[in-house]
Structure 1
Amino acid sequence: MARIAVMGAGMGAMAAAARLAVAGHRVVVYERTDTYGGGVRRLARDGFGFDTGPGLLTLPAVYRDLFVKTGKEPLEDLVGLVQVDPSARHLFADGTEAALPNASRAGVVAALDEALGGGAGGRWGDFLVRAREAWDRTRRPLLEEPLWPDWQVLTGKEPYPAVPHKRLLRTRRAATLAEIGAWELRDPRLTALLAGYALAYGVDPATAPASAAVLPYMEHAFGTWYVRGGTRELARAVYERCLARRVEFVFGAEITRVPVADGRAAGVELADGTVAGADFVVGSRPWRLGGLVEGAPYGPGAVAPAPEDRFPGRMVVCLALRGARDPGAAHRTVVHSADTEGELDLFRHGTPPGLPTVRVDRPDDPALRPDDAHESMVLTATVPAATRYDWGAPGVADAFTERMITAAERAVPELRERVLWREVRTPLDTARETGATGGAVPPPALAGPRGALHPANATGTPGLFAVGGWSHPGGGLPHAGMSGALVSGLIVEGPDFRGSQ
């Protein structure tokens, strides 16, 4: 039995902790805040409840596998999982709208044809077929296997089979999402639809590789799911599974150093000077590991950690509303911006968009409202991290909130008149809760020449591993669960571990 110290109680860290405990190891999780879940948080006030992190779940099979491998009770016995239908309603800048059925390519094609006309549904359906090919080519090496020393093969050939496009005397193939939109989808609304998936993950659609087509594919292929009571209930279930497997949690414990003895990680040192010995250390946020361990945790030839604040964050507005929820309302509505170029300034110049794309979540969940005469609603927009934009300046957050509400009123008329109160959460809140520099949110790993990978789970320091959204295979609830499975496999089975099954 090995002693294992885990830094942080985020979703990936807890997924690793539960698996390692089941393998017979003594696992202690050190969390600097007073709760678990990382960015998966809940705001509760006056009988209202709000998800302030992810509001929906894709690829629930990742967490089903976690619960199958760590106990007798399956995931569905512990949380209520519901497929939302439609998966989302989309409001485009020209006033057209489309509600896309959940996990039905044929239904999505029909809905887009009816809403947009001109063969739009067929073009989107053909795009999803190509996106599936990219998914099939990258799923195993990018998501289910450790990042091997020859990781460059993932950034070689573009896995998305783009359609040849003749331009002047040249034939080209789309290399970015923006080019897929312009050359293959050929409709500004379909282009906005595609870009919206990238923005939701904090990815710049203008520069994202064509392989980012897997992001909408995951939703269409595997469905979009809601956890009754909010996504925080999923975090609670994982935490309680850890406790049931005798994982120990120490809250309010900030790690300031990872001691190294005989060339390998030997434990953790806390801010109060306490040193806890360990045979293995599972860290989070590889960018921070460089300041905690002697030497460079990632050597030459490895994927080096990128500064976290080069990525954007999220603005979340929680609205407590008077009046009953419209029974026909979609769970999620995406209100697309009319200023697509201005919106991309958040990536180019670190300035928030004047007309943001806003995701409006209206869960039909009695657990999140005091009674049926009220409604809880969450607005989310992708924004620059706090190190690139001063979210703490007087009036800045409120001014952007007003712009988000203005956008949301396209989906929910007279929204302002219904607001009892609101809570605004900027990247500064994300930074406080997760420790990520500037409150940035990690994007998923993407393959291809223009892709971006995250540092490997096994570091250059023996006994030290990295887990969570800032390490392989990147950000997002499913990816965090995959990261936990990979770290557990590398520790339990050793360097010969070939990946999750």
Structure 2
Amino acid sequence: MSRIVVIGAGVGGLAAAMRLQASGHDVLILEQADEVGGKLGVIDREGFRFDTGPSLVTMPHILEETFASTGASVHDALSLVRLRTAAHYRFPDGVELDMPGDLVDVPGAVDAALGVGTGAQWMAFLERAQSIWDVTHEPFLESPMGLRTMVRGLRTPSQVTTIAPWSSLRAIGNRYLHDPRLRQLLDRYATYTGSDPRRAPAALASVPWTEQAWGSWYVHGGLWEIAAALRDRFVDLGGQVELGVAVDGISTTRSGAVRGVTLAGGDEISADVVVANADARQVYSHLVDGRIARRVRRRIERSTPSLSGFAMMLAVDDAPRLPHHQVLFAEDYDAEFDAVFGLRGPPRPVERPTVYICAPDDPTVVPTPRSAAWFVLVNAPPHAPGRGMDWDEPGLVPSYADHLVDLMADRGADVRGSIRFREIISPADLQRRTLTPGGSIYGSSSNGAQAAFLRPRNASPVPGLFLVGGSAHPGGGLPLVLLSARITSGLIGPA
């Protein structure tokens, strides 16, 4: 039996710990916050419950497999609900599209909203997207990162042509999608990895296909219940979770192998293996010393940090009924990405951003039938005072929140007279809450053809140290974080 310490109780850390405990290891999770979940956070106030992170479950079979790997059923722990409408989209010209949650209904709905022939355009694109998924998912997403794995995964010239590594998501979309609203719809999927569609790889075309092929899902009670269920299963297996414990460093032997972790108070906990469910920049900048850490850190710093987010939790009385997911598109999407990534000027708040609203129809998250708990999110540049965007500038956060509420009203979601209270999480707040540099949601973005090779591997160069979570391979988002946990636990192996 090996003693394993997991730093961080985000979804990746919880899932990896659960798998490792089930395979015979003695696992301890140390979490600096007072609750599990990491970026999958929750706020409870006055009978309202808000998820503060992911609000959509896709590829639910990965969640099912995570629990099954420990001899449990996810359906005994969570109530998964498939949404009939995946998302409601409002385009800049005022046209609205209710995207069905079942792929078979998609072409008809797109035709009805955007005009005859647009459904065929979208389905032709999804056919190519499925081909990309078929080629990439096993070697690129479900296997440990490595050049040999990547090369083996592309066995024929036709497979290389399929994923078009020289092409961007925007470029491949333009080949199939002639309606500008469909192009804008596709661009949004780059933000699922915190990226710019003009620079993100064409391989991200697989994201909308996976979402529409397996559907959009919600967890009754809110998505934080996923973190709670992972924690409970881990504890049932005999694992230990300690909250409010900050790790100050990862200690090593003279030969450079992991020896344990050092706590903020100076105490040391010994371990045979350490799994870091923390942002990789944080791990190699603050937790690990030495030449190896500096080399890896330099590689990470060559990548572009992912975008961050400005989030509002709105407690709404006498709320209008909205679809579960609603997207109010920006009038100028390129200007939005320019602002977020600091192009054509310094990083800056987006004047008229795309607004995402999650309005779950779930009586367990609100105090009365006529009230609603809205999670509102817009893309934002990371917090970088002195060298970029300073979200702690006095007055900026409340004034920007007021501006966004007015913008929502301009686009048909007017609740200005019905807000009981609001909670705001800026990129600076996100950095403080999750110890993520700048509040970058996904660690590194997928901007550029080399981005995947700059993302940190699950097996670090430090013997006995492994990384898991959205900033490590294969990337951010609930399904990929769960795959990261599967890869990491597989690399460590059974006791």
| TM-score after normalising by structure 2 | 0.91
1:11 deviates by 0.6
1:362 is the counterpart of 2:359? yes
Write the distance in 2 (CA, Å) between the matches of 1:445 and 1:241: 32
1:231 deviates by 0.6
Q: Please tell me the residue identity of whatever aligns with 1:202.
A: G
1:459 deviates by 1.0
1:382 is the counterpart of 2:397? no
C-alpha spacing 1:120/1:444, structure 2 compared with 1 (3 Å): farther
Matches within 5 A, 1:112-131: 112-131=110-129
1:260 deviates by 1.3
1:429 is the counterpart of 2:423? no
Q: Is the 8 A contact 2:327 2:354 kept in 1?
A: yes
Aligned match of 1:202: 194
1:452 deviates by 2.8
1:8 is the counterpart of 2:8? yes
Aligned match of 2:49: 49
The alignment of Structure 1 onto Structure 2 pairs a total of residues equal to 481
Counterpart among 300, 313, 331 of residue 305 in structure 1: 300
Q: Please tell me the residue identity of whatever aligns with 2:355.
A: V
Aligned match of 2:86: 87
Q: Is the 8 A contact 1:88 1:330 kept in 2?
A: yes
C-alpha spacing 1:242/1:162, structure 2 compared with 1 (3 Å): closer
CA deviations 1:425-472 (Å, max 9, x no partner) are 111221122110011111688699355342111111111111111111
1:395 deviates by 2.2
Aligned match of 1:213: 205
Write the distance in 2 (CA, Å) between the matches of 1:274 and 1:301: 27
Aligned match of 2:492: 491
Q: Is the 8 A contact 2:326 2:357 kept in 1?
A: yes
CA deviations 1:59-87 (Å, max 9, x no partner) are 11122111111133x11111110011210
Q: Is the 8 A contact 1:4 1:28 kept in 2?
A: yes
Q: CA RMSD in A?
A: 2.6
Matches within 5 A, 1:142-161: 142-150=140-148, 153=151, 161=162
1:306 deviates by 3.7
1:286 is the counterpart of 2:280? yes
Write the distance in 2 (CA, Å) between the matches of 1:374 and 1:186: 40
Unpaired stretches in structure 1, ≥5 consecutive residues: 164-172, 495-501
Q: Which has the higher helix share?
A: 2
Write the distance in 2 (CA, Å) between the matches of 1:357 and 1:202: 14
1:322 is the counterpart of 2:323? no
Q: Is the 8 A contact 2:280 2:443 kept in 1?
A: no
| TM-score after normalising by structure 1 | 0.90
Write the distance in 2 (CA, Å) between the matches of 1:296 and 1:107: 55
Aligned match of 2:177: 185
1:409 deviates by 2.5
Write the distance in 2 (CA, Å) between the matches of 1:186 and 1:274: 61
1:246 is the counterpart of 2:199? no
Write the distance in 1 (CA, Å) between the matches of 2:17 and 2:11: 10
Does 11-20 or 404-413 show the bigger shift?
404-413
Q: Please tell me the residue identity of whatever aligns with 2:305.
A: R
Q: Is the 8 A contact 1:78 1:237 kept in 2?
A: yes
1:195 deviates by 1.1
Q: Is the 8 A contact 1:444 1:473 kept in 2?
A: no
Write the distance in 1 (CA, Å) between the matches of 2:480 and 2:152: 17
Unpaired stretches in structure 2, ≥5 consecutive residues: none
Q: Please tell me the residue identity of whatever aligns with 1:75.
A: V
1:114 deviates by 1.2
Write the distance in 2 (CA, Å) between the matches of 1:417 and 1:154: 58
1:266 deviates by 1.0
Q: Is the 8 A contact 1:444 1:479 kept in 2?
A: no
Aligned match of 2:331: 338
Aligned match of 1:480: 481
Write the distance in 1 (CA, Å) between the matches of 2:150 and 2:240: 38
Aligned match of 2:167: 175
**3-state SS of paired residue (2:27):** strand
**3-state SS of paired residue (2:97):** strand
Write the distance in 2 (CA, Å) between the matches of 1:296 and 1:71: 41
1:266 is the counterpart of 2:259? yes
